[in-house]
Amino acid sequence: MKKTDAESILDHALSLFRSRGYKSTSMADIGKASGLLKGSIYHHFPSKEAILSQALDRLSGHFEKQIFSLAQDESMTEKQRLDAMVSAMEGYFIKNKACVMAHVSMEAMDDMAQVRDQIQAFFRRWRSAFAGVLATRHGGSVARRLAEDSISQLEGAVLWLNIFDDPAPLKRMCKRARELL
């Protein structure tokens, strides 16, 4: 019976949120991308904010499985884990040219407290995974600091990529990150 599953709507919505942001994406936009009228979306989700929240959850899951998990893959050396994780990040952002979490965070810091918490949790988890690969070499506190710096550097580079369509700073940043081990 099902024709359009909720996950498909979430994927289309996430893509729109990434390129246009949350406020600039209307229910009609999400509907059109999903092949529905805007009213029909409310059969799958209770509100627009719920779509955002679930879409961010889904994105966190993707990062967990495809990127963060590489940092804990014990079939590789630590250097290999770092390389794999950084390369996965680099490929993701060069392909998508923007970070939904960063984009939405600016719109959601005041209202939408739950979304703000989700975004903070995402970046904390990212830092934790990143610091994990660096810990034995640099020690816990230094590793955490290096991870924090690397993530914020990467976000800045993604912003530059979004503004100038120039991936050079991102590539240089990833090269530097790989040299941390």
Partner DNA sequence: CATTAAACCAAACAACCGTTTGGTGCGGTC
Partner DNA sequence: GACCGCACCAAACGGTTGTTTGGTTTAATG
Name the region of 21 (left: φ>0; alpha: ψ -120 to 50; beta: rest).
left
Applying CB under 8 A, the span of 28-36, 49-57, 68-76, 149-157 interacting with a second copy comes to 149-157
Nearer to DNA, 39 or 139 (CB): 39
User: Does 28 engage in binding with DNA (CB under 7 A)?
Assistant: yes
Task: Quote the CA–CA distance of 127 and 57 in Å, as a whole number.
Answer: 17
Question: Which tokens is 57 given?
Answer: 């959850």
Candidate residues 10, 14, 27, 161; the one interacting with DNA per rule CB under 7 A = 27
Question: Which tokens is 66 given?
Answer: 């495809």
Applying CB under 7 A, the span of 38-46, 121-129, 145-153, 158-166 interacting with DNA comes to 38-46
User: Does 21 engage in binding with a second copy (CB under 8 A)?
Assistant: yes
User: Does 53 engage in binding with a second copy (CB under 8 A)?
Assistant: no
Judged by beta carbon distances under 5 to 8 A according to partner kind, the member of DNA, a second copy, none in contact with residue 3 is DNA
Task: Tell me how far, at minimum, the Cβ of 4 lies from a second copy, in Å.
Answer: 26
CB neighbour list of residue 180: distance below 8 Å, 6 or more residues apart: 82, 134, 137, 138, 146, 150
- Side-chain half-sphere exposure of 37, counting CA atoms within 13 A: 2
Candidate residues 18, 48, 127, 144; the one interacting with DNA per rule CB under 7 A = 48
User: Does 111 engage in binding with DNA (CB under 7 A)?
Assistant: no
What are the strands, taking DSSP E only, across 5-134? Answer: none
Applying CB under 7 A, the span of 36-44, 65-73, 82-90, 136-144 interacting with DNA comes to 36-44
* 134 phi and psi angles, rounded to 5 deg: -95, -10
Q: CA nearest 178: which of 70, 74, 106? A: 70
Judged by beta carbon distances under 5 to 8 A according to partner kind, the member of a second copy, DNA, none in contact with residue 110 is a second copy
